[in-house]
């Protein structure tokens, strides 16, 4: 369970004013749920995902992820939480440029003890095969197409069998066919592992596949006028950007 209570995030703007970007009174996400975060650009989707991922701390309020109080953790504790619990897929992949596809996945495993060291190479190879890159294990990111880079990033996100997979605009930089593959792989992997999947997206293809959409307003709160929408494989959400 992910639970947010009176969560606020403020930034200091370059001119020194407090910028209130997120204010969520209460939000709960159950284990194994597939949730899409929608809302206009600048509504705080990335900010919220980064807080849940432990990449940044809230300004106020509580955030519990699998009973772990992130709001009370030091930066180092959040790093450990992330290695233990979270897989992250970024819009711009964030692969290590000087390392091969296989090494990128192996390095992610080295931050966690979830996969015993003797099993890492086998698992990394299997994951890259699962995303269709068995012929590209030793290519570096610049030798791969954008869609292939995103698939390496997905293999890396899954490396430590995360209970929570966070994907921020996972299809924004790839073509339509790759978007479909990425969403298929995300769903299949999370279903197999029983993971919770949390995605921010503008992409109707992505939003149309999720069991729940949470829409943020431009003020960074949950849009209560937007009823949760239950997906089926064929229908489309009533609202999207
Ligand atoms: P979204 O992902 O929904 O497009 P973001 O979470 O990236 O929105 O940003 C929410 C708001 O916070 C925006 O108005 C953005 O300008 C502001 N913001 C994001 N990061 C920072 C930062 N590091 N410092 C100051 N303001 C920021
Ligand atoms: Mg964003």
Mean pLDDT of the chain: 90
212-218: average pLDDT: 89
What is the value of pTM for the model shown? Answer: 0.89
Choose the most confident range, by mean pLDDT, from 64-73, 84-93, 213-222: 64-73
For residue 237, the model assigns a pLDDT of: 44
| Distance separating alpha carbons of residues 231 and 104, to the nearest angstrom | 34
Ligand 1 pocket test: which of 22, 45, 47 has the largest number of ligand atoms within 8 Å of its C-beta?
47
Tell me the mean pLDDT in the region 172-194.
Answer: 88
Decide: 44 in ligand 1 pocket, CB within 6 A. yes
**Mean pLDDT, to the nearest integer, of 30-46?**
93
pLDDT tens, 149-167? 999 999 999 999 999 999 9
Answer whether 11 contacts ligand 1 (Cβ < 6 A): yes
């Amino acid at each position: 369970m992910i639970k947010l209570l009176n969560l606020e995030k403020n930034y200091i703007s370059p001119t020194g004013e407090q910028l209130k970007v997120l204010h969520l009174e209460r939000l709960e996400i159950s284990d194994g749920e597939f949730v899409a975060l929608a809302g206009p650009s600048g509504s705080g989707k990335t900010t919220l995902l980064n807080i849940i991922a432990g990449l940044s701390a809230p300004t106020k309020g509580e955030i519990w992820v699998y009973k772990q109080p992130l709001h009370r953790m030091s930066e180092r504790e959040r790093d450990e939480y992330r290695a233990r619990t979270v897989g992250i897929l970024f819009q711009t992949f964030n692969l290590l440029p000087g390392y091969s596809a296989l090494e990128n996945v192996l390095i992610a495993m080295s931050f966690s003890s979830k996969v015993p060291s003797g099993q890492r190479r086998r698992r990394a190879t299997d994951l890259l095969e699962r995303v269709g890159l068995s012929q590209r294990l030793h290519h570096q990111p610049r030798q791969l197409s954008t869609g292939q880079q995103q698939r390496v990033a997905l293999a890396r996100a899954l490396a430590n069998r995360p209970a929570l997979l966070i994907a921020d605009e996972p299809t924004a930089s790839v073509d339509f066919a790759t978007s479909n593959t990425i969403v298929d792989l995300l769903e299949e992997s999370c279903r197999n592992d029983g993971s919770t999947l949390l995605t921010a997206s503008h992409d109707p293809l992505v939003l149309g596949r999720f069991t729940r959409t949470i829409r943020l307003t431009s003020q960074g709160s949950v849009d209560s006028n937007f009823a949760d929408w239950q997906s089926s494989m064929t229908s489309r959400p009533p609202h999207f950007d």
